[in-house]
Amino acid sequence: AKEERYRRALKIMDAAGLGLGVNLSGGTVTAGADGGPSAFARHKALADRVAPGRFLLYFNLDYKGWDEPDWSARAVKQVEEAHRLGAAGLKEY
C-alpha cells in the first residue's frame, strides 16, 4: 500500500539522518475518474497524515489535450491548483 511506502521511506530517512524527503512524482491535480480528489491531493494528504512536514511533493502536469488551442490556459490552472494544494514545485519530464 502507498501508506507503507511512506512509512518505509520515513524509517530510512530517520536512519540516515534526513529530515526532509521530496516526492518528485506527486501526480496530477486533475480530478479522479470518479470526480474525486486528484492523485496529487491524495498523495499530499497521505504524506501529511503519515509524517507531517517531512515530505515535499511536486506535481505533474496532465498533458491530455496538449495540442488543443486552450491547453496553455488549462496548464496555468493546473499550476494554480497545485499551488493551492501545497505543491513544492512542478516536475517536468
- pLDDT confidence band for 1 (50 / 70 / 90): low
Which one, of 49, 54, 42, lies nearest residue 17 by Cα? 54
Model pTM?
A: 0.88
For residue 2, the model assigns a pLDDT of 84
Task: Quickly list H helices, 1-93.
Answer: 2-16, 39-50, 71-85
Which phi and psi (to 5°) does residue 2 adopt? -65, -35
What confidence category does residue 63 fall into, taking pLDDT thresholds of 50, 70 and 90?
very high
pLDDT digits (tens, 9 = 90+) for 10-41: 999 999 999 999 999 999 999 977 888 999 99
